[in-house]
Structure 1
């Protein structure tokens, strides 16, 4: 313990020598306080706690002596790769000292060189390999520090112990891998690309709102290619169906009109009728009108249907012709009944 105290006491004196630059007075004072705090913790064998204080002292007021003390602290904390790097920095700073400064720190320089050579043989190395198919934007972090492309695929010095490597791939969940390396060990870590995360279910498109200002066009009934003769026959059969329906209507309403005639005779005397007789007269007129229309439609429909069927059976014109009936219409006027067919023949 006495020998350790003498070494650390010498470091305190050493840390206050050979300032590399002019630092603000408040930074110098803070750096000195941090340095003394770190040395006290080193005396208590609390190296893991002491090293950050000494490192902060070096950042605020860089001095070769503080750097040497930091290297010694990191070595005792087990971070030998970091200690070797600090010893190398110290020796480079020693080479830039004046002869008088080098004379004062000659003993420290010899110890730094010896420690560096001994520790370098025990520094482990870690090789991190990124898959060649890694997409653009892929990142690798080692202990929270991003690794550039030049740092991948090459064996690099690392402190012994456990380290955390994180692989971040666009569109996938980050993958964390823990790897432990021992003193003098050389290890390779091959990263594996994670599976992409499943895409979220897209929202269904909003329902289409029809434009109520525009009346939708009546869709045409698709018709298979047929001949012109076949189209005429089809129209003829439709007209016949309409004509038959008209004749049936004539028969039914005509019969009802005849029945109402009996009611009129029973409830009317001459031109005088009671209420039942007047109702029978009005209903009879309506039925007579419907019967007349049914008869007209029936006669015209049957006649037109027969003509179209006969014309359609006279021959066929081959070829893909659009034929078909979209609708049938009829009009009743004061003195005539007309039937029409809309379509392509």
Structure 2
């Protein structure tokens, strides 16, 4: 009974979740639409009152939440009534495009937008930036960055004050405040050649009189340390080289014994049935198995020798170089480290001195 109750409870939870998911998924768009409608109605009320300063932000936020054509139309009219002709001009252009491309085109809104675009065009003032050199890379107007295609032909701006900044790589920025009037046309801003950036260097401390003597002492100490390290590295190289030679000898002798093991001439006491007429041992015979085991040992000794001999030679050479040369007096003494690591077909020796 308990298991049945648990099953029913779990099923109830799942059903509740499935029912709640659609409500949660569609709640957000509904809330946005409701908020957009509330903002739209409040914005229209402010426009009716003639308070365009308060109306435009309400309509802009409504359009952001729900980009409807009617909201965009009222927003463009609001900006125009507020005297922001460049902003209104851009909004009417957007309204014309949106209305043309709608699933059901709104030709009435297209016509209205075109009428306002035609009326606002002559009122627009464009900021044209004229450069005296080519060091400028970009132009900012009120924090918005424009490329040459815009600032060289004109950036539409609303009447009022605008902050202009011209920047270039390795150049000092040029700042200017541009005042846009109500008459329309072009507002040309001539930008002089941008000055190079000034790099301020920090204070330079003159060398003290005791520094040469200290450097000389450091050089002597570094040379002694270098020679000591050279003797150690050279000694290790000799030891490794000797070990490599031992394994080389073992390789030769073990390989010779392997050959003799499979020959009847060198095994007089062996069973004659394990050798053929030429005196060589048969495959899978006891002498043949012993011979192969010795050959495996010889190959192992050879691999070890192939590693030790080159490492020993390198160690001996590095040790001799360290022991017979002096430390560079212009460089501070450094610690030394040696690392020997096996590699494919041999080994590598690395170090810092």
TM-score (norm 2): 0.47
| Structure in which a larger fraction of residues adopt helix | 2
Question: If the length of structure 1 is used for normalisation, what is the TM-score?
Answer: 0.48
User: Who wins on radius of gyration, i.e. which is larger?
Assistant: 1
